Chain A
Amino acid sequence: MKRIAAILTTMFLLTANVWAQDGKGIYNKYSDNESVSAVYISSAMFKLMGKVPNMDVGSGTMNIGPLIKNLNSMYVLDCDDPDVCQEIKSDINKYIKKYDFEMLMEVKEKGEVVRIYTAGSEKTVNQFVMTAAESNAITFICLDGIMSRAELEKAIAKATQQME
C-alpha cells in the first residue's frame, strides 16, 4: 500500500509539474502566492479594450488596439521571494524548452538578466515571453495569442518613443 501511495504521489507531482509548464499553468501555480504580484488579462477583456478608442495615457497616444485584438491572454508575475523565484525560473525554463521558443534578446546588466523569447513563424508570434531576473527577484511576462510580428515591434517602438 505504501508503495502504491508513493507511486501515485510521484505521478501526481509529475503531472502537476508537467502541466505547470505553460504561461497559464505557471500563472495558476504562483498567482496566489503571497510573495507574488500577479496580473491576468483575458481574451474577453482584450476584446473590450479593442473597442476603446486611442486613449491618452501619459505624455502621448499609444494605439495598441491592432495588437491586442488577437491576443488571448496576458500573464504577469512579479516575485521578490528568493525561494519562490527559483521555482518560477525553473518552471519558465521548462516552458521555454517545451515550446521551442526562439531567444530574441538577452541583456545582462547590473546583476539583472533580461531574456525575450518568441514562438511562432516569420510573420506571426504565437507566444511572447519576457523574463527579467535578479538574484532574488523575477518578473515574468507572457503574451499568448496570434500577434503580427510587425505590429508587436511597432507597439514596442511606440512605447519607446513615449518614454523618451
Chain B
Amino acid sequence: MKRLEDLENLNMQELERIASDESIIVPGTLKHDIAVTARALEMASANDAGTGSRKKRSFAMYSYPAAAVAILAIGMSITFRSATPKDTFEDPYMAYIQMEQVFGFISEKMNSGLDIANAVEPVIDKTIKAIR
C-alpha cells in the first residue's frame, strides 16, 4: 500500500496511469468521503469570511463614533481658543480709567523694584571703590 508521501511524489503521468488502471479497486465510500470533505472545506471558508466581516463591522462600529468625538473635540478646542471675549466696559471713558489704573499698578511695582535697586547702589559703589 502506498503511503501519503509516495502519492505526493507522483508526477502527472503516473497519476494518469494509476487512474486509468481498472485493476485497482476503488473503495465504495470514496465518492461520499470526497463530497463530505469538500462540504466541510466550504463551511470552514464561509466561517472564516464571516469572522472577517464581523471584524470589519466592529471596527466600523467603533471608528465612526471615535471620529465624531475627535472632530467634536477639535471643534470645541478651536472654539475655545478663538472665542473673542466680550468687552468688560461699554463706556470708553471707564475703559480709559481702567487702563490708567493698570498703568499705575505696573509703575507702582516697577518703582518698588527701582527703589530696592537704588538703595543697594551706594553699597555697590562702595564695594567697587574698595576693590579698586
Q: Which residues of A contact B (CB under 8 A)?
A: 1, 4-5, 8, 11-12, 15-16, 19-20, 24-25, 27-29, 31, 38-42, 44-45, 48-49, 51-52, 55, 57-58, 62, 64, 68, 74-76, 105-107, 109, 114, 116, 130, 132, 139, 141, 155-160, 162-163
Contacts and interface: CB of A to CB of B under 8 A. Distances in A.
Contacts of B87: 40-42, 44-45
Contact of B107 (A24, A74, A163): A163
A162 B70 contact: no
B102 A16 contact: no
B81 A19 contact: yes
Contacts of B69: 5, 8
Interface of B: 62, 66, 69-70, 73-74, 76-78, 80-81, 83-89, 92-93, 95-100, 102-113, 116
Contacts of B83: 28
B77 A27 contact: no
Given A40-B86, A57-B97, A114 B103 contact: no
A45 to B, nearest CB: 5
A20 B77 CA distance: 9
Given A19-B81, A52-B92, A64 B106 contact: no
Instruction: Please report whether the interface of chain B is mostly helix, strand, loop or mixed according to DSSP.
Output: helix
B70 to A, nearest CB: 6
A163 B104 contact: yes
A15 B77 contact: yes
Contacts of B108: 163
A58 B93 CA distance: 13
Given A156-B103, A157-B107, A41 B62 contact: no
A74 B85 contact: no
B95 A19 contact: no
A5 to B, nearest CB: 7
A48 B109 contact: no
Contacts of B96: 49, 52, 55, 57, 64
B80 A49 contact: no
A49 B89 CA distance: 11
